[in-house]
Amino acid sequence: MCGIVGYVGGRAALDVVVEGLARLEYRGYDSAGVAVLADGKLATAKRAGKLVNLRGVLEEDPPPAGTLGMGHTRWATHGPPNDRNAHPHVDCTGSVAVIHNGIIENFAELRAELEESGHGLASDTDTEAVAHLLEEELKAGDGLAAAMRRVCGRLDGAFTLVAMHTGDPDLVVGARRNSPLVVGVGEGENFLASDVAAFIAHTRDAIELGQDQIVELRADGVRITDFEGRPAEVKEYHVDWDVSAAEKGGYDYFMLKEIAEQPRAVADTLLGRIGADGRLRLDEMRISDRELREVDKIIIVACGTSYHAGLIAKYAIEHWAGLPCEVELASEFRYRDPILSPTTLVIAISQSGETMDALMAVRHAREQRAKLLGICNVNGSTLPRECDGVLYTHAGPEIAVASTKAFLTQLVAVYLIALYIAQTRGTKWGDEVFAMVQLLERMPEKVEKVLETMEPVRELARSLAGERCVLFLGRHVGFPVALEGALKLKELAYMHAEGFAAGELKHGPIALIEEDLPVVVVVPPRARDVLHDKIVSNIQEIRARGARTIVIAEEGDESVVPYADTLIGVPAVPTLLQPLVTTVPLQVFACELATAKGHDVDQPRNLAKSVTVE
């Protein structure tokens, strides 16, 4: 959710902070604000809406130049997205400013206490209470970091906090619990941010902050302690992508760039995982072969698009590894009574590694002593730290809110895991695993081929911009693809879109079919004759009732031609791998249709890239 930037060094802090906010805007765009400390005074500016509004304010009334600053881009939780609730928030004296990502769950109680002791709170936010609590704690005279430690001890919930105080004019303080915060280490300057993208133009050296840690950021150094003030163990790392990866690179939208990057992302995720002997090597898994052999059940937890990757994983795991596999929405998982044991493997899939629902599911599974494996795209995020092992996808930074390349690379990761388990447990012969791996290695080329043939899909999307509803049907792994196609259309085009298992149609949803209703059908490869023929019958059923059929089928599948109003051909690949090629036209379709409707596809309304609240 919200994006946070902090800076201290030799440059004009405002420029560094606003540039950082521009790179973090995907995290939330309800409002933006900055604070700069100059000549012993704090100056703040904030404005509801996207960063462009704040830029207007800063141009009209620039704050004094200072070399210490911080900025915030908000995804509203407490209080409507207006100027008043925009961060930073200040205390009664105007000498402390705070920005925050997360939710302070006991804020009502803290607010009441503060109001009773005479503090005037100017906003509806939970964050503002922190500014006033700091004001109280600073009276002890031991500085901002010590005050922050004591305040953190009083807070419940999830928070990343960054604060500045006129009494500590060369210091920015950050605190982290359950929300992301990374340090960028420069020369004579240092950075704080929710995501390395904010400072990647200045440094690729980063420090990952752990749970319940405080960072004191000065131009000449960084000190990290726990909430009790003890020096903390930290993990330094070098970011393996550069600023060009976080820029649009000539595309109108990040989403277009990220769709186009998919062949490379798929190839990168496979890289280094196949040994010279053809055997899979997943060293980062950190779950021993013995432990893997003992696993008797797999549960996958994830949200949104990552959940759809999990649904596809189930087919691959059960087919190749012969293990029962359940897939559960992470937000539901801990509210039932999942049966877990030390021989259960829980796989959490999350692009960002910061999705609170996924993290809470993982913590619940940990309490039940299950083994934990993460699939994650963001190095330095929370999920990998909380799992026994991790398989990183190498999609590179995904900035558009709608997930595209992260999804395809998650699929590659789950295929690798399923095959690795099959290899370890001996449910597939070595040569069978190798044959499948070879097919996987050809997938970048297949995805590239799909991308080369997308003009008719774009044309179709533009022609449907006036529709109110689109349905998506699939069977087997085509069902999660249908769900993903519908999710993309909902989040980008704000249209009613539903994905159904085609076999379920006759049990209710067929009543939705009316004259000219666009229905996208994902057809399995012809090699799966039973499945294939069943869905061809489903297409006929909906067409007979007037639906306008948009059929995605493998090239050369003549059997669907008579029933397809529009036919989108994809390269022939094995059934389990088909989502890698059938999802791409659906991404292009949603992106183009939303663009035709005039929507900003990188920042769809009401959404944020990583959902760090439950």
Using CB under 6 A as the binding rule, whether residue 379 contacts ligand M6R is answered as no
Q: Which of 259, 261, 281 minimizes the C-alpha distance to 270? A: 281
Secondary structure class of 229 (helix, strand, coil): coil
Task: Write down the least CB distance from residue 291 to ligand M6R, Å.
Answer: 25
The neighbour count for residue 540, using CB atoms within 10 Å, is 14
Among 85, 306, 382, 423, binds ligand M6R (CB under 6 A): 306
Q: Please measure the distance between the N-terminal and C-terminal CA atoms of the chain and give it in whole angstroms.
A: 11
Among 18, 133, 209, 358, binds ligand M6R (CB under 6 A): 358
Task: Write down the least CB distance from residue 122 to ligand M6R, Å.
Answer: 32
- Any residues with CB less than 8 A from the CB of 288 and at least 6 apart, and which? none
Tell me if 258 sits within 8 A of 398, measured CB to CB.
Answer: yes
Task: Write down the least CB distance from residue 514 to ligand M6R, Å.
Answer: 28
| Residue whose CB is less far from ligand M6R, 31 or 331 | 331
Using CB under 6 A as the binding rule, whether residue 304 contacts ligand M6R is answered as yes
Rounded Cα distance between 486 and 509, Å, is: 15
Tell me if 419 sits within 8 A of 439, measured CB to CB.
Answer: no
Task: Write down the least CB distance from residue 214 to ligand M6R, Å.
Answer: 26
Give exposure, 156-171, as e/b (b: 16+ Cβ within 10 Å).
ebbbbbbbbbbebbeb
Rounded Cα distance between 427 and 118, Å, is: 69
Among 96, 246, 325, 401, binds ligand M6R (CB under 6 A): 401
The one segment of 105-113, 304-312, 443-451, 544-552 that binds ligand M6R by CB under 6 A: 304-312
Among 350, 379, 538, 612, binds ligand M6R (CB under 6 A): 350
| Residue whose CB is less far from ligand M6R, 125 or 352 | 352
Tell me if 267 sits within 8 A of 274, measured CB to CB.
Answer: no
Q: Which of 148, 152, 154 minimizes the C-alpha distance to 106? A: 154
The one segment of 94-102, 265-273, 348-356, 511-519 that binds ligand M6R by CB under 6 A: 348-356
Q: Is 50 a catalytic residue?
A: no
Using CB under 6 A as the binding rule, whether residue 402 contacts ligand M6R is answered as yes
- Any residues with CB less than 8 A from the CB of 60 and at least 6 apart, and which? none
Sheet bearing 172-177, strands edge to edge: 89-90, 96-104, 157-165, 172-177, 213-218, 221-226
Using CB under 6 A as the binding rule, whether residue 77 contacts ligand M6R is answered as no
Q: DSSP assignment of 347-367, as one string?
A: EEEESSS--HHHHHHHHHHHH
| Residue whose CB is less far from ligand M6R, 35 or 302 | 302
Q: Which of 257, 371, 446, 609 is catalytic?
A: 609
Alpha helices (H) along 36-165: 51-60, 107-116, 127-137, 144-152
Tell me if 217 sits within 8 A of 8, measured CB to CB.
Answer: yes
The one segment of 67-75, 284-292, 301-309, 571-579 that binds ligand M6R by CB under 6 A: 301-309
Task: Write down the least CB distance from residue 607 to ligand M6R, Å.
Answer: 6
Task: Write down the least CB distance from residue 279 to ligand M6R, Å.
Answer: 29
Secondary structure class of 597 (helix, strand, coil): coil
Rounded Cα distance between 127 and 143, Å, is: 20
Using CB under 6 A as the binding rule, whether residue 131 contacts ligand M6R is answered as no
Using CB under 6 A as the binding rule, whether residue 269 contacts ligand M6R is answered as no
| Residue whose CB is less far from ligand M6R, 104 or 356 | 356
Among 351, 379, 409, 423, binds ligand M6R (CB under 6 A): 351
Classify strands 548-554 and 566-570 as parallel, antiparallel or unpaired: parallel
Using CB under 6 A as the binding rule, whether residue 355 contacts ligand M6R is answered as yes
Using CB under 6 A as the binding rule, whether residue 255 contacts ligand M6R is answered as no
Within 430-449, which residues bind ligand M6R (CB under 6 A)? Answer: none
| Residue whose CB is less far from ligand M6R, 85 or 404 | 404
- Any residues with CB less than 8 A from the CB of 544 and at least 6 apart, and which? none
| Residue whose CB is less far from ligand M6R, 69 or 604 | 604
Using CB under 6 A as the binding rule, whether residue 610 contacts ligand M6R is answered as yes
Task: Write down the least CB distance from residue 610 to ligand M6R, Å.
Answer: 5
Q: Which of 2, 303, 325, 376 is catalytic?
A: 2
The one segment of 199-207, 310-318, 351-359, 584-592 that binds ligand M6R by CB under 6 A: 351-359
Tell me if 306 sits within 8 A of 359, measured CB to CB.
Answer: no
Tell me if 367 sits within 8 A of 341, measured CB to CB.
Answer: no
The one segment of 17-25, 397-405, 546-554, 564-572 that binds ligand M6R by CB under 6 A: 397-405
Task: Write down the least CB distance from residue 411 to ligand M6R, Å.
Answer: 13
Size of the site for ligand M6R (CB under 6 A): 16
Using CB under 6 A as the binding rule, whether residue 134 contacts ligand M6R is answered as no
Q: What are phi and psi of 295, to 5 degrees?
A: -60, 135
Task: Write down the least CB distance from residue 103 to ligand M6R, Å.
Answer: 16
Q: Is 405 a catalytic residue?
A: no
Task: Write down the least CB distance from residue 351 to ligand M6R, Å.
Answer: 3
Tell me if 145 sits within 8 A of 214, measured CB to CB.
Answer: yes
Using CB under 6 A as the binding rule, whether residue 611 contacts ligand M6R is answered as yes
| Residue whose CB is less far from ligand M6R, 372 or 401 | 401
Among 67, 403, 538, 578, binds ligand M6R (CB under 6 A): 403
Rounded Cα distance between 570 and 554, Å, is: 5
Within 455-514, which residues bind ligand M6R (CB under 6 A)? Answer: 487, 491
Q: What angle do CA 304, 306, 307 make, to 5 degrees?
A: 65
Among 31, 305, 382, 424, binds ligand M6R (CB under 6 A): 305
Using CB under 6 A as the binding rule, whether residue 303 contacts ligand M6R is answered as yes
Angle between helices 127-137 and 107-116 (to 10 degrees): 50
The one segment of 152-160, 177-185, 300-308, 429-437 that binds ligand M6R by CB under 6 A: 300-308
Rounded Cα distance between 522 and 568, Å, is: 10
Tell me if 17 sits within 8 A of 43, measured CB to CB.
Answer: no
Among 31, 190, 352, 603, binds ligand M6R (CB under 6 A): 352
Tell me if 531 sits within 8 A of 578, measured CB to CB.
Answer: no
Task: Write down the least CB distance from residue 362 to ligand M6R, Å.
Answer: 11
Residues that bind ligand M6R (CB under 6 A): 303-306, 350-352, 355, 358, 401-403, 487, 491, 610-611
Q: Which residues are catalytic?
A: 2, 609
